[in-house]
Amino acid sequence: MSPDRNMILNQRHLEIILFKAYANLRSEASRTYLSFMWWVIDPILSMIVYYVVFAILLQRGTKDYVPFLIIGLIVWQWFTNTVNHGMTTIQGNIQLMNQVHLPKVIFPSIEILMDTFKFFIVFLLVLIFLWIYGFGVSSAYLALPLILGVQLLFTMALTYLLAAVIPFLPDLKFLVKTVLQLVFFLSGIFFDGSKIPEHYQPYFYANPMATLIEDYRNVLMHNLWPDLNALAVICLFSALGVYAAYRLIGHFDHVYPRVTMQ
């Protein structure tokens, strides 16, 4: 296939991803009276519940616990929503696969784009809240695109890898949801990772989400630059994961329709 034809096909596939994500977002918003406001209300309700439990009932809150908690929750929700929504997309699109041939990587890509769009709406509102709360803009904000990009790459790697294998191991999705629930409480969303006993910290920071959440807080709350070495490591492994998953999905492109019919 010529390079020009490859370029045209890639452009068409990108257009499909953008159009389908837009159509799905409109359809999702039209199904409720509050429309797209639910994308904002949902994380706010989650924040209120966890704040009541940890800060008020269990007395685990610290100074500036509200922004501390909000940052951790919205970052985690972007990650877990994308993974949960995207990992079953190849398995769940059997009817479309039998009607038209499309690269199967398109299906998780649509969900990644949708959840990323929702996150950025919430993230913008959180930034406004932080400024009103008293946390000003600093030069450390220049690192935000880097942190956001690394998290997106990490999320893409995990989502694509799971989407690639779940058609062959359907029950894996249940295990993934349980593991994500466990990791949720081990990612420093409700506590400061620096307060963990020192001999446990290497295990804690082996979790990429724990590092990313702390980096967001350092930038947004403490005007500190993130750990660039740790970000570089996460970025490298995530890029390798995306490449491996892309090749894996491409390798099984013609197998998925038969597997998902079984």
Report, as an integer, the average pLDDT of 234-247. 96
pLDDT at 217 over 50: yes
Taking the CA atoms of residue 77, residue 78, residue 84 and residue 89 in that order, the dihedral angle to the nearest 10 degrees is 160
Cα-based distances in Å from 85 to 90, 102, 185, 204, 245? 11, 19, 20, 26, 17
CB atoms within 10 A of CB 150: 24
Whole-number Å distance between alpha carbons of 248 and 262: 20
Report, as an integer, the average pLDDT of 196-224. 93
Report, as an integer, the average pLDDT of 126-135. 90
Please state at what angle helix 65-86 crosses helix 38-50, rounded to 10 degrees: 120
pLDDT at 3 over 70: no
Q: How many CA atoms lie within 13 A of 226 on its CB side?
A: 27
102 neighbors 257 (Cβ within 8 angstroms): no
pLDDT at 199 over 70: yes
- pLDDT, residue 190, reads 87
Report, as an integer, the average pLDDT of 146-161. 97
pLDDT at 205 over 80: yes
DSSP per-residue string spanning 133-157:
HT----GGGGGHHHHHHHHHHHHHH
pLDDT at 98 over 90: no
Report, as an integer, the average pLDDT of 7-21. 75
Whole-number Å distance between alpha carbons of 102 and 104: 6
**Chain-wide mean pLDDT for the chain?**
86
CB atoms within 10 A of CB 114: 21
For residue 15, give both structure tokens.
Answer: 């257009």
User: Which pTM does this prediction carry?
Assistant: 0.89
Report, as an integer, the average pLDDT of 8-25. 78
155: phi then psi, degrees, rounded to nearest 5: -65, -40
The rounded percent of the chain whose pLDDT value lies above 90 is: 52
Whole-number Å distance between alpha carbons of 170 and 175: 10
Instruction: Kindly indicate the confidence band of residue 2, based on its pLDDT and cuts at 50, 70 and 90.
Output: very low
CB atoms within 10 A of CB 172: 15
- pLDDT, residue 83, reads 97
- pLDDT, residue 260, reads 58
27 vs 29: which has the higher pLDDT: 27
Whole-number Å distance between alpha carbons of 59 and 24: 41
pLDDT at 1 over 60: no
